A and B are shown apart, each in its own frame.
Chain A
């Protein structure tokens, strides 16, 4: 009953990434008021080092698989995989923010501290084995994101993005919590594995308790808001457009991965025995998400908003792999998520640079002739767009390929057909930007600014990663498969 020191040490090892992130965040917060305005940039680098240290400590945690803190936190291959993706995305976003904040006159310690806290929350989400712990993680990441979305305090779009995100985010949180309460009422536990044990041990003749089904529905509503799937997607384009662009890069990538991870855990592990119930919900949601995302993106003239819609569409493709509800489906979803993070962060970071001060240049027309003026940057952007579109040799192509393949294996043919149609629709708006960059007359009033070293490093990593996943997917795929296996070991199927 009294925890032994050795056990405590083991527990600490298992949550090492979160501890590191929080400690760095706190240190940055304390140091920030004592640093001159000119030295604030160093805090950004400190945050970057913190994120890298956290990545290293994921390696440490990986040596001690198991559960920590009376089964509240899970360390398995699945959570390790998600940790790496999430923290990687956060470190790229930090690199991309350094010069943006400088240009906007927003270079402040809180920003980096908030990014680190948000990342820690996502880490908790990825590893949570208990729903209220997951809720704490979700709120850590959400509350930080609300502030980050409104970080350009004097800009009205940023204010509005923040308010909308806050109101709808907390609304969704309340649903998620009510779902947890219902599941707790039905099963008497909030442990993800405990719920599974309870539901599996029910006699086959007995139906699932109605409270548990209601709870699952409410949890889907809550998490659906956070991963931005239809019909809960309405706020996302507004938030993604209004938030500062590096923040959008973070918001559109990392929280999605972490929340999807939690969703996979809850649906496959806890409610694996109720797959016949949630399958159609996921199916319908996937179809709606893909159509709304793609058709919405078609009508945009603002590149940032267009990318926001495209991230909705991508959530739909991930749901296709989700609907397959096989080990291969989980592995495909994880692979897709890692490719998605690289290309999405990359694309938004390019937009960050090209927006220039005050985020003025965001229209497709502003990208005219970029191929001649800044060939390397344009090539990078094209790579990300091709990957988002799903052309071969890029990570996005293989992600889509594996996702659709797993769905076909599970005999969900119609969903794959619809997803295929959507990929074709998606081609139009991605190609429009590429055509603008290479074939339109360059506008006269635009003077290209050189890409700052930190940003170009981030872009380089994202581009290299996208190509790596497209050319040599085996290694990551094996890891994703191992992660999926560790999840399905839990699900006893």
Chain B
């Protein structure tokens, strides 16, 4: 369906080139795997050694939750304002909508004015949403 957007003169641009990474595909990951094993092994050895060899003495200070050396004040799980959720929701939406700009930018030169107009329409619709939530007071922080 979208094959017309693949550049015929230079097949392999954009996407197809990614397919050619076939030579020894797994081999290039072998060092990475080795590193994972080493890291996990080292961490495991250190933790095991400290529990096996080390002395265990519980004191009141030691059992307190650690907060950068400062005496902790109150519970770490304090509920926070619902405003944060609201801002997060709005952020997710406007953040994700930008995803369509990437493929558009890629074929912008081939779509010319048509693509430009369509994308402006799209952004206008987003703008309407923005005006709506601004006027509805979703951005007020009080």
Q: Do chains A and B touch in the complex (CB under 8 A)?
A: yes
**Contacts from A to B (Cβ < 8 Å):** 1-3, 8, 26, 29-30, 32-34, 70-71, 130, 189-191
Chain A residues positioned under 8 Å from B132 (CB to CB)? 29-30, 32-33
- Residue pair B136, A1 in contact (C-beta under 8 Å): no
Which residue on B lies nearest to A30, using beta carbons?
A: B128
Q: Within 8 Å of chain A (Cβ to Cβ): is B1?
A: yes
Which residue on B lies nearest to A191, using beta carbons?
A: B1
Chain B residues positioned under 8 Å from A71 (CB to CB)? 1
Chain A residues positioned under 8 Å from B114 (CB to CB)? 2-3, 8
Chain B residues positioned under 8 Å from A3 (CB to CB)? 114
Number of A-B contacts (CB under 8 A): 28
Q: Within 8 Å of chain A (Cβ to Cβ): is B38?
A: no
What 9 A-B pairs are tightest by C-beta distance, nearest first? A33-B135, A29-B132, A1-B4, A26-B128, A3-B114, A30-B128, A33-B136, A70-B1, A2-B112
Which residue on B lies nearest to A190, using beta carbons?
A: B1
Chain A residues positioned under 8 Å from B1 (CB to CB)? 70-71, 130, 189-191
Q: Within 8 Å of chain A (Cβ to Cβ): is B125?
A: yes
Give bound CA distance, A421 to B132, whole Å.
53
Q: Within 8 Å of chain A (Cβ to Cβ): is B110?
A: yes
Give bound CA distance, A30 to B114, whole Å.
26
Chain B residues positioned under 8 Å from A32 (CB to CB)? 132
- Residue pair B111, A29 in contact (C-beta under 8 Å): no
Give bound CA distance, A33 to B129, whole Å.
12
Which residue on A lies nearest to B127, using beta carbons?
A: A30
Give bound CA distance, A30 to B132, whole Å.
6
* Between-chain CB contacts (< 8 Å), 23 pairs: A1-B4, A1-B110, A2-B110, A2-B111, A2-B114, A8-B114, A26-B125, A26-B128, A29-B128, A29-B129, A30-B128, A30-B131, A30-B132, A32-B132, A33-B131, A33-B135, A33-B136, A34-B135, A70-B1, A130-B1, A189-B1, A190-B1, A191-B1
Which residue on B lies nearest to A34, using beta carbons?
A: B135
Which residue on A lies nearest to B137, using beta carbons?
A: A33
Given contacts A33-B132, A130-B1, 20 further A-B contacts (CB under 8 A): A1-B4, A1-B110, A2-B111, A2-B114, A3-B114, A8-B114, A26-B125, A26-B128, A29-B128, A29-B129, A30-B128, A30-B131, A32-B132, A33-B131, A33-B136, A34-B135, A71-B1, A189-B1, A190-B1, A191-B1
Give bound CA distance, A465 to B116, whole Å.
46
Which residue on A lies nearest to B125, using beta carbons?
A: A26
| B interface majority secondary structure | helix
Chain A residues positioned under 8 Å from B129 (CB to CB)? 29
Chain B residues positioned under 8 Å from A30 (CB to CB)? 128, 131-132
Give bound CA distance, A34 to B1, whole Å.
43
Q: Mark B120-131, 1 if CB is under 8 A from A, else 0.
A: 000001001101
Chain B residues positioned under 8 Å from A26 (CB to CB)? 125, 128
Chain B residues positioned under 8 Å from A1 (CB to CB)? 4, 110
Chain B residues positioned under 8 Å from A2 (CB to CB)? 110-112, 114
Give bound CA distance, A70 to B5, whole Å.
12
Give bound CA distance, A34 to B134, whole Å.
12
Give bound CA distance, A26 to B4, whole Å.
33
Give bound CA distance, A8 to B117, whole Å.
12
Give bound CA distance, A71 to B114, whole Å.
18
Q: Give, as a whole number of angstroms, the nearest-CB distance from A181 to chain B.
A: 16
Within 36-78 of B, Cβ neighbours of A (below 8 Å) are at none
Give bound CA distance, A34 to B125, whole Å.
18
Chain A residues positioned under 8 Å from B111 (CB to CB)? 2
Q: Give, as a whole number of angstroms, the nearest-CB distance from A49 to chain B.
A: 19
Which residue on B lies nearest to A3, using beta carbons?
A: B114
Chain B residues positioned under 8 Å from A130 (CB to CB)? 1
Give bound CA distance, A190 to B135, whole Å.
41
Give bound CA distance, A191 to B129, whole Å.
31
Which residue on B lies nearest to A5, using beta carbons?
A: B114
Which residue on B lies nearest to A130, using beta carbons?
A: B1
Chain A residues positioned under 8 Å from B125 (CB to CB)? 26
Q: Give, as a whole number of angstroms, the nearest-CB distance from A28 to chain B.
A: 10
Chain B residues positioned under 8 Å from A34 (CB to CB)? 135
Chain B residues positioned under 8 Å from A29 (CB to CB)? 128-129, 132
Chain A residues positioned under 8 Å from B135 (CB to CB)? 33-34
Which residue on B lies nearest to A8, using beta carbons?
A: B114
Which residue on A lies nearest to B4, using beta carbons?
A: A1
Residue among B4, B125, B132 with max Cβ neighbours from chain A (10 Å):
B132
Give bound CA distance, A32 to B132, whole Å.
8
Give bound CA distance, A71 to B4, whole Å.
14
Chain A residues positioned under 8 Å from B136 (CB to CB)? 33
Within 88-141 of B, Cβ neighbours of A (below 8 Å) are at 110-112, 114, 125, 128-129, 131-132, 135-136
Q: Give, as a whole number of angstroms, the nearest-CB distance from B85 to chain A.
A: 15
Give bound CA distance, A3 to B110, whole Å.
10
Give bound CA distance, A30 to B125, whole Å.
10
Chain B residues positioned under 8 Å from A8 (CB to CB)? 114
Q: Give, as a whole number of angstroms, the nearest-CB distance from A240 to chain B.
A: 27
Q: Give, as a whole number of angstroms, the nearest-CB distance from B55 to chain A.
A: 51
